[in-house]
Each structure stands twice: as C-alpha cells, then as structure tokens.
Structure 1
Amino acid sequence: MSPLSSRSRLGLGIAYAPQENVVFGELSVAENLWLHLPDQDATRYQAVLSEFPRLTERLRQRAGLLSGGERKLLSFARTLGLRAALSMLDEPTEGVQPENIDRMARLVNGLKATGRSFVVVEQNLSFVEMVADDVLVLDHGQAVLSGEMTALGRAAIERHLVV
C-alpha cells in the first residue's frame, strides 16, 4: 500500500497539522492559508483569526519570519480551516504561549460540538485535559493506559509520564 497524498487525505475528510516543518517559510501567512484550497472563502478562517489577531496582522508577512509558536498557530489555523471531518494535530501546543493554548482548546471544543473529530498527539497534559474525551497513553509505542479522560483523571496519566 502506498501512502496517500495530502490532497487524497483531504478528499477523504482528513486534515493534518505536523509537529515539524509546519509552514512554507517563503510564502506569506495568507498564502500558507490559501495555498491548497480551490477557493478563498474568508469565512473558513474567521473564527480562528479572531482568536489569533496576530496572524491577521501578519497576513502579508513571510511565514518564515514568524516565531516558532506563531508558526504552530498558523499550521493550526490552516488545519482547522480545511473543515475536515477529522483533524490530526501533532504536538499543536509546542512553543505556543499559554493564553494561545487556551484559545486553541476553545476552538477545538467548539468544532467538536459541531461534529468534527480530532486526534491529538500531545505532551501538554493541561491541553489534553481541556480537549480530550478519550486518551491513549503510549510508552515506547506500547499502549499503557486508555479510557475516558474524565474517568481516568490527571493523576492516572501522570503516573505513566517520565521525564
């Protein structure tokens, strides 16, 4: 089986925000948002840009000049704007300021309420607590804990975390 292209995955209703290489640095912030879309329907980014006005201020700026956290926000915004049924977010909060992490959680929860689904790979347990319905804790690729977030609680998850 060969891997699916980004376009094919999106056609199946799957969007992905990678952990690394999250933006096209030579393109503007706006070009990063619109690059892969057939239209430039501004409403697709209205909610996320209102939460992150810094991105709106920098729409014409080259994305490579953004800070690491701002690049993560741009990748997050682009993924949400794809309107996929399933969005996969790989370490979305890495390098992101705490107040923006709260905004990210608010957006994810709002979209979950509309029926969209998320798979989030994340080490920031506070973010996990804010957005997760179910959790799966892996240790070296092996599942060591799984269940509903509310039933498991933070303490059970922390027992499996090592630094």
Structure 2
Amino acid sequence: MSLDTPQTETRREQLTAHEALQRLEHERTSRLTQLRAIEETRPDAEEQVMSTQKDTIRRVLAEVEAAVARVGKAATASAATAPSRSACRVDTEGKLTDAPLTPQQVRDRAIGYAVLAAMTVALLGAAAYAYAHHRLERHNLAGWDAAWARTAPRWTASR
C-alpha cells in the first residue's frame, strides 16, 4: 500500500507560503485518514505509518520554510487580496529589487558617466599642470638664488 498521494509525487515546483501551508494541512489530514484506516485493520502498522508521516511532514515543512523565506513585502495594486499573485522582481539573493532600466535610462546614465569621466580627466590634467608649474617655478627660483649668491659678492662693494 503506497502512502504517497499523487499530489506529493508530482508537485515539485516552488510553492508560495500560502500554497505550502495548504499543502501541509492536506498532507496532515490525508495521513490521519490513512492512519485511521490502517489502525482498523492492523494495529501494529502504526509505527510504519508514523515514520512515513514524519518524513513527509519534514519534507513539506522544508518546502514551507523555503516558501516563507521567499516572502517579502512589495507595493501592489489596491485591488490585490492576500492569496493573489503579483509579479515581483528579485535579485540573485532573493531580495526585492526595482524593474530593469529602460534603454533611455541606460543611455542617460552612459552619457552622464562619459561627461563625468571627461571632466575628471580635464581636472586631473589641470591639477597636474598646476603642480608641475609650481615645482618648476620653485626650482627656477632656487636656481636664481644660487646664481645670485655666486654673483652678488662681485656686484656689491666690500667695506
């Protein structure tokens, strides 16, 4: 006598939390019905049924936990009711995310980043020029001071 119902063997896709809870209740009631039927015919079969029932309940509870882990809050239409479905976008970690960018948004961002990159290159160039100009001016002034130190004694009268 097989204890698995067709629903438990064929339904393997991911469930919503609501569907998983309904399935758990269905599994529980069907196992209790089977247990009562077997108890009437063979009292010693209780352990076999309980073992199978525990395995099934563990599996269904794992599915319930997986479904509950995927539950999140999202803004939906005002006419949506609790068990109804709404399209949501999630990232690779399962967190709710916004809709993908439109081609216009991608174009706008690309242009913005290109302008930012051009401005950064220009500003870095201006900063490098100012730094080099300052260093060269200091170097030239130091050279002129050294040259004047060598020339000054000849131009000044000694007393």
Q: Shared fold by TM > 0.5?
A: no
TM-score under structure 2 normalisation?
0.24
Q: Which has the higher contact order (CA 8 A, sep 6+)?
A: 1
Q: Select the structure of larger CA radius of gyration.
A: 2
Relative to its length, the structure with more helix (as a share) is 2
Q: Which has the higher strand share?
A: 1
TM-score (norm 1): 0.24
